[in-house]
Amino acid sequence: MAPTKQQILDSLAKIAGPDGAPLTASGKLSDVMVSDGKVFFSIAVDAAVVQAWEPVRARAEAAARAVPGVESALVALTAERKAGARPSGAPDARAGAPAGAAARAAPTPIGVPGVEAIIAVASGKGGVGKSTTAVNLALGLRDLGLKVGILDADIYGPSLPKLLAIRERPQTLGGTRLKPITRYGLTVMSIGFLIDEETPMIWRGPMVISALTQMLREVEWGELDVMVVDMPPGTGDAQLTMAQQVPLKGAVIVSTPQDLALIDARRGIAMFRRVNVPVLGIIENMSYFLCPQCGARSDIFSHGGARHEAERLGVPFLGEVPLHMDIREKSDAGLPVVATVPDGPLAAVYRDVAAKVLEQLKGPGRPPPKFVIEE
Ligand SMILES: Nc1ncnc2c1ncn2[C@@H]1O[C@H](COP(=O)(O)OP(=O)(O)OP(=O)(O)O)[C@@H](O)[C@H]1O
Ligand SMILES: [Mg+2]
């Protein structure tokens, strides 16, 4: 039988925090999410007492896992800053969040000093062109005059080293901090630099939090207007943890026009909504075929699915990127179109998308969802 949230809460009530009080009465527990036998929740504590709480986290994870029917449980310990204790110069990446949000049980990840806004590029499904879009979107934002960084958080298949032809490793500064790579005016960091290619896939999920923390906090990002995060595909535990751990100002969902991919896009949207990250909109990739010879356009997939879906779900539609040989060939060669053919039609498409993303980032707030998406 599928485990219920109440069963998980009952098992957590038997776990005591460092002060002896039950975890469920501590006020530090996030909402407990149970889906398909997978359990996920977080415990938000003050940064100063993280160590004392680590054994509690481990016990809570074991307790959740012991509930009949639970296949996997992931419990994240998040260090919450005290209200007003934000270091100077560290922007609140959730600026615009409703007043009192910090007081809620759901933890607000700490912003990255110097970085104004962090946005995720995500998809429910692999191979829809997320990384390609992330790179060209970052370059499009650069062309709008912004200082842009790009973080490759795809723990299962980092692709920025290839898409940006990066062969060197980042240098360490003073033995502890990493200096990001600069390419085409972008500040770049990839999880590929931190995780050994030999690391078995099964270990990668649990490594997410430490690798992410390292990439956000131990890298000299400098002053950035926007950091674009290329997320791993899917909506599993690792992705959910990431969505919750990174102080995201918004998420952009990439989808292809086919129905199947759109179902996954819906899952992606649902995931970000669950962790209270605004969905900035959907990009339809491989939307139509643009003939490299004559420039004629053909709608080989009966394109427009994502636009329709965006309308239905009440999220903005950010544009259509054609299926074009140049995008693939140039991406594979580490020569992204926006950087290498800036006057071409494809660069213009990505710049339009970037402008729409920026509009959403600056916008006065998005319309509320039209309906709740069922998982
Ligand atoms: N608009 C496009 N036109 C032509 N080829 C494209 C387009 N977008 C992406 N591609 C190609 O599709 C393949 C998959 O793209 P990409 O690696 O960006 O997808 P992804 O969603 O990041 O994949 P993964 O889920 O594995 O991370 C690549 O070979 C890429 O060059
Ligand atoms: Mg990718």
The whole-number pLDDT of residue 301 equals 63
Nearest CA to ligand 1 atom 6: 328
Q: How far apart are CA 48 and CA 183, in angstroms?
A: 37
Q: Which range (141-145, 160-164, 291-295, 368-372) has the least confidence?
A: 368-372
Instruction: Determine how β-strand 279-290 pairs with β-strand 177-178.
Output: unpaired
The backbone torsions φ and ψ at residue 334, rounded to the nearest 5 degrees and listed phi first, read: 75, 25
Query: Can you tell me the mean pLDDT for 18-25?
Result: 92
Read off the pLDDT of residues 8-17 as tens digits, 9 standing for 90 and up. 999 999 999 9
Would you place residue 242 in the very low, low, confident or very high pLDDT band (cuts 50, 70, 90)?
Answer: confident
Kindly list the distances between the CA atom of residue 127 and the CA atoms of 124, 133, 204, in Å, as whole numbers in the listed order: 10, 11, 19
Residue 29 CB coordination number (10 Å): 21
Q: Give the mean pLDDT of the chain.
A: 83
Which is nearest to 148 in space by CA: 133, 160, 135?
A: 135
Pair of tokens at residue 268: 């992606």
Mutate to test the pocket of ligand 1, among 131, 252, 253 (most ligand atoms within 8 A of CB): 131
Query: Can you tell me the mean pLDDT for 55-69?
Result: 93
The whole-number pLDDT of residue 79 equals 61
Select the more confidently predicted residue: 226 or 292.
226
Which percentage of the chain shows pLDDT scores above 70?
A: 84
Mutate to test the pocket of ligand 1, among 235, 328, 349 (most ligand atoms within 8 A of CB): 328
The whole-number pLDDT of residue 156 equals 81
The whole-number pLDDT of residue 102 equals 33
pTM, whole model, 2 decimals? 0.72
**Residue in this structure with the two tokens 């998040």, named with its chain if needed:** 78
The whole-number pLDDT of residue 84 equals 39
Is the pLDDT at 217 greater than 80? The verdict is yes
Instruction: Determine how β-strand 38-46 pairs with β-strand 33-35.
Output: antiparallel
Pair of tokens at residue 352: 């339009």
Would you place residue 44 in the very low, low, confident or very high pLDDT band (cuts 50, 70, 90)?
Answer: confident
154: CA distance to ligand 2 center in Å? Answer: 7
Instruction: Among the bound ligands, name the one nearest to the CA of residue 321.
Output: 1
Q: Mutual orientation of helices 130-143 and 325-332 as an angle, nearest 10°?
A: 90
- Give the pocket of ligand 1 (CB within 6 Å): 123, 126-132, 154, 157, 159, 233, 285-286, 321, 323-324, 327-328, 331-332
Q: How far apart are CA 15 and CA 63, in angstroms?
A: 8
The whole-number pLDDT of residue 14 equals 95
Contact between residue 245 and residue 76 where contact means Cβ atoms under 8 Å apart: yes
Beta bridge partners, 120, equal: 229, 251
Alpha helices in 67-200 (DSSP H): 130-143, 160-163
**Residue in this structure with the two tokens 């879009």, named with its chain if needed:** 133
Instruction: Among the bound ligands, name the one nearest to the CA of residue 160.
Output: 2
Select the more confidently predicted residue: 185 or 257.
185
Q: How far apart are CA 322 and CA 298, in angstroms?
A: 10
Select the more confidently predicted residue: 88 or 45.
45
332: CA distance to ligand 1 center in Å? Answer: 9
Is the pLDDT at 267 greater than 60? The verdict is yes
Q: How far apart are CA 183 and CA 188, in angstroms?
A: 7
Select the more confidently predicted residue: 330 or 199.
330
233: CA distance to ligand 2 center in Å? Answer: 7
Mutate to test the pocket of ligand 1, among 130, 131, 132, 229 (most ligand atoms within 8 A of CB): 132
Would you place residue 261 in the very low, low, confident or very high pLDDT band (cuts 50, 70, 90)?
Answer: confident
Mutate to test the pocket of ligand 1, among 163, 239, 252, 331 (most ligand atoms within 8 A of CB): 331
At position 309, the amino acid (one-letter code) is E
Contact between residue 80 and residue 43 where contact means Cβ atoms under 8 Å apart: no
Instruction: Indicate which atom in ligand 1 lies nearest the CA of residue 321.
Output: 1
335: CA distance to ligand 2 center in Å? Answer: 16
323: CA distance to ligand 1 center in Å? Answer: 10
Is the pLDDT at 272 greater than 60? The verdict is yes
Query: Can you tell me the mean pLDDT for 78-101?
Result: 40
Instruction: Indicate which atom in ligand 1 lies nearest the CA of residue 230.
Output: 22
Instruction: Indicate which atom in ligand 1 lies nearest the CA of residue 125.
Output: 25
Would you place residue 338 in the very low, low, confident or very high pLDDT band (cuts 50, 70, 90)?
Answer: very high
Q: How far apart are CA 97 and CA 106, in angstroms?
A: 13
